[in-house]
């Protein structure tokens, strides 16, 4: 009889246990979990705090409504789950795991034929004075989420401060806004989502969040927390901010102590090294979830990228292979989607920064548009940015943001990346079309067309960041071809040399522009800006560019009425 011990009872560990049971009805499976809860949806905790989810037990239920607890796994899966039990040592020679019952203190050795390490990760706790004051949480355990939700329900918090503008930090900013709590997000780096967005995309999302009432401080470092028993203020290197509650969300580190002490190899990221079959350098020990490193499919480099979706895939692959399979885990694309109030944000593949670090030749293009025909109820704007190799035309990465259906497009682009698609392939893909879902030429195909136009020289586009640098340097004319009504509502701020000519009047008013001067055309999403550039080029203008993404993608201040 196959004896399997699993260390860790959340995503990867219990997914592996369930798969082993399906493949091998006779296996003896024991799961060791140091906490008192198992198999909970940790990624749903910000939405529980924010009130989208009423009962925390919903994060522990199957789709049929059964709670995934010890009894569930015993009766339904025939898996023995030991909660409040700490794995203290792995003896690879004896093939045992030493465990300690945290309630009784009893210790014993569990023998195994195959061992799975799914110890997850732990939140980083910065050594900042006052970090142990009350009401400072890391939102990594359900008890944190329950405590924060309870305080919000009692009206206990007026000012919330979040340290870190990554996924959890920005999700929690929305959660506090739902409760009408004043929110300040502090990020040490110069932009929000520094790990996965390029600066102009992050800037556009940050501008939106600020407009919706979230105070965001980038390039600012927390130096201490003040208070007597509970936190009362956060002190940065620039100011003091009142705080009734603080969420520290600056990242996580893999839990590798057991593996390291057992002599297993750690990879360059500091996480456990595994092969394509999710096996460590011990053939009888597998590892998965947030404690292992992954391979980035595009770059080929090892990365530490903890994600619940990846952990579940790891668990399935491990379960198959322990039962005799030879299933490979090919790697990840670092695909991310996140909701920021009514904005949807997504990324897959390489960012510009990563492409530069790899020494890859690349080009970018950014386009905007509605996620379905503008005449359909519920049509929302969104922006797509592609990063691609100009020589091979292969897609390298993509980012998207806006109120439209970003996740759908990011999933299409992730699929394309997985199979090595070119920008030409993106146009050729036969995507579903009906007005309730998308336009006849989907946003992905529109971006691909723009990329092809750019390669062929038909589109001379520049990014919003380059446009801003040009504006600050002076000498270029910014040509706004929107209607007068649109221009009254919102305009570029601080632009000294700007010309307002509606697109329909441009052909008859080209004499108002200097053919020897650089002209940067734009509109709301710069589709009309592109048309304007073509008109001007047809009239003999030789230095016309298009500000890609238009005002929707402009990450800087605008003037409004």
pTM recorded for the entire structure:
0.94
Residues 246 and 261 in one domain: no
Residues 529 and 509 in one domain: yes
Residues 240 and 258 in one domain: no
CA distance 98 to 495: 68
How many CA atoms are closer than 13 Å to the CA of 487, on its beta-carbon side? 14
pLDDT in tens, 42-81: 899 999 999 999 999 999 999 999 999 999 999 999 999 9
CA distance 22 to 20: 5
- Among 427, 456, 485, the domain boundary falls at 456
pLDDT, residue 46, reads 95
* Three-state SS sequence of 84-121: CEEEEEEECCCCEEEEEECCCCCEEEEECCEEEECCCE
Residue 314, C-beta contacts closer than 8 angstroms, at least 6 positions apart: 12, 15, 16, 118, 278, 288, 289, 292, 329
CA distance 66 to 52: 20
Strands of the sheet containing 477-480, edge to edge, are: 461-462, 544-547, 519-522, 477-480, 498-500
Residues 210 and 147 in one domain: yes
Q: Annotated catalytic, 43?
A: yes
- Tell whether 127 is covered by a domain: no
pLDDT, residue 88, reads 98
The 3-state DSSP class for residue 537 equals: helix
pLDDT, residue 500, reads 96
Query: Is the distance from CB of 232 to CB of 130 less than 8 angstroms?
Result: no
* Three-state SS sequence of 125-158: CCCCCCCCCECEECCCCHHHHHHHHHHHHCCCCC
CA distance 556 to 184: 19
CA distance 410 to 434: 19
- Tell whether 129 is covered by a domain: no
The number of domains in the chain is: 4
pLDDT along the chain (561 residues), means of 10: 96 96 97 93 93 92 91 94 97 98 96 98 96 94 93 95 97 97 97 96 97 97 97 97 97 97 98 98 98 97 96 98 97 97 98 96 98 96 98 98 98 98 97 96 97 97 96 95 95 92 96 95 97 96 96 93 78
Query: Is the distance from CB of 558 to CB of 551 less than 8 angstroms?
Result: yes
Query: Is the distance from CB of 305 to CB of 332 less than 8 angstroms?
Result: yes
Residues 116 and 264 in one domain: yes
pLDDT, residue 560, reads 86
Residues 116 and 9 in one domain: yes
CA distance 481 to 560: 17
pLDDT, residue 561, reads 78
- Tell whether 330 is covered by a domain: no
Question: Which among 23, 43, 495, 558 is annotated as catalytic?
Answer: 43
The 3-state DSSP class for residue 69 equals: coil
CATH number of domain containing 178: 3.50.50.60
173's enclosing H/E stretch is: helix 167-178
Quick one: tokens of 68? 């995934």
- Tell whether 337 is covered by a domain: no
CA distance 554 to 518: 19
- Tell whether 336 is covered by a domain: no
Q: Which neighbouring-strand residues pair with 399?
A: 347, 385
Residues 105 and 196 in one domain: no
- Among 224, 250, 276, the domain boundary falls at 250
Query: Is the distance from CB of 370 to CB of 411 less than 8 angstroms?
Result: no
pLDDT in tens, 292-335: 999 999 999 999 999 999 999 999 999 999 999 999 999 999 99
DSSP assignment letter at 517 = S
Residues 465 and 390 in one domain: no
Long-range interactions of 415-420: CB distance < 8 A, separation 24+? 417/297, 417/298, 417/333, 417/348, 417/349, 418/297, 418/333, 420/394
Residues 159 and 223 in one domain: yes
Domain that holds residue 318: 3-121+253-322
- Tell whether 331 is covered by a domain: no
Residue 59, C-beta contacts closer than 8 angstroms, at least 6 positions apart: 40, 41, 42, 44, 45, 48, 53, 142
Residues 31 and 70 in one domain: yes
CA distance 515 to 119: 65
Residues 174 and 275 in one domain: no
CA distance 459 to 530: 7
CATH number of domain containing 554: 3.40.250.10
CA distance 474 to 468: 10
Q: Would you give the distance in Å from CA 480 to the centre of its chain?
A: 33
- Among 250, 269, 296, the domain boundary falls at 250
Residue 5, C-beta contacts closer than 8 angstroms, at least 6 positions apart: 30, 31, 32, 97, 110, 111, 112, 114, 115, 116
Instruction: Give the number of other Cβ atoms within 10 Å of residue 412's Cβ.
Output: 20
Instruction: Using alpha carbons, list the distances in angstroms from residue 221 to 209, 238, 239.
Output: 20, 8, 10
CA distance 353 to 432: 33
pLDDT, residue 140, reads 87
- Tell whether 327 is covered by a domain: no
- Tell whether 91 is covered by a domain: yes
492's enclosing H/E stretch is: strand 490-492
Residues 412 and 475 in one domain: no
């Amino acid at each position: 009889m196959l004896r399997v011990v699993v260390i860790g009872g959340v995503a990867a560990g219990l997914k592996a246990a369930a798969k082993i049971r399906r493949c091998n009805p006779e296996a003896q499976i024991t799961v060791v979990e140091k906490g008192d809860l198992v198999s909970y949806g940790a990624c749903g905790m910000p939405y529980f705090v924010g009130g989208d989810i009423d009962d925390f037990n919903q994060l522990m239920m199957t789709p049929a409504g059964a709670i995934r607890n010890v009894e569930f796994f015993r009766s339904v899966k025939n898996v023995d789950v030991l909660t409040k039990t700490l794995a203290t040592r792995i003896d690879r020679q004896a093939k045992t795991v030493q465990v300690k019952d945290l309630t009784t203190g009893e210790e014993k050795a569990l023998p195994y034929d195959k061992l799975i390490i799914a110890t997850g990760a732990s939140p980083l706790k910065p050594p900042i004075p006052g970090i142990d004051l009350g009401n400072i949480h890391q939102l990594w355990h359900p008890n944190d989420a329950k405590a924060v939700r309870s305080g919000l329900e009692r009206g206990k918090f007026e000012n919330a401060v979040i340290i870190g503008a990554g996924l959890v930090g920005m999700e929690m900013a929305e959660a506090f806004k739902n409760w009408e709590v004043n929110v300040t997000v502090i990020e040490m780096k110069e932009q929000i989502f520094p790990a996965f967005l390029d600066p102009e995309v992050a800037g556009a999302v940050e501008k939106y969040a600020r407009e919706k009432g979230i105070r965001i401080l980038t390039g600012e470092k927390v130096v201490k927390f003040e208070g007597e028993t509970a936190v009362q203020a956060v002190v940065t290197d620039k100011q003091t901010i009142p705080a009734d509650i603080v969420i520290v969300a600056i990242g996580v580190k893999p839990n590798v102590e057991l593996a390291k002490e057992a002599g297993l190899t750690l990879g360059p990221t500091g996480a456990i090294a595994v092969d394509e079959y999710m096996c460590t350098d011990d053939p009888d020990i597998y590892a998965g979830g947030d404690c292992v490193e992954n391979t980035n499919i595009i770059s080929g480099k090892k990365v530490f990228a903890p994600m619940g979706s990846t952990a579940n895939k790891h668990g399935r692959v491990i379960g198959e292979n322990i039962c005799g399979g030879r299933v490979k885990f090919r790697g990840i694309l670092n695909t991310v989607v996140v909701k920021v109030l009514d904005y949807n944000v997504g990324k897959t593949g390489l960012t510009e920064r990563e492409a530069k670090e790899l020494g890859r030749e690349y080009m970018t293009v950014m386009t905007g548009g509605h996620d379905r025909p503008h005449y359909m109820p519920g049509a929302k704007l969104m922006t797509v940015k592609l990063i691609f190799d100009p020589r091979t035309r292969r897609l390298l990465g993509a980012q998207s943001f806006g109120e439209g259906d970003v996740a759908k497009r990011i999933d299409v682009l992730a699929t394309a990346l997985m199979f090595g698609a070119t920008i030409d392939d993106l146009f050729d893909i036969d995507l579903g079309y009906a007005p309730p879902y998308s336009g006849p030429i989907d946003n992905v195909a529109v971006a691909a067309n723009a990329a092809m136009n750019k390669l062929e020289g038909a589109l001379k586009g520049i990014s919003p960041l380059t446009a801003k640098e040009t504006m600050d340097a002076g000498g270029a004319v910014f040509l706004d071809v929107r209607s007068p009504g649109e221009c009254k509502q919102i305009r570029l701020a601080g632009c000294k040399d700007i010309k307002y000519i509606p697109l329909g009047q441009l052909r008859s008013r080209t004499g108002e522009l200097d053919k020897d001067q650089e002209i940067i055309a734009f509109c709301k999403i710069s589709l009309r800006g592109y048309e304007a550039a073509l008109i001007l080029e047809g009239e003999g203008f030789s230095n016309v560019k298009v500000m890609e993404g238009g005002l929707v993608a402009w990450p800087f201040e605008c003037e409004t009425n």
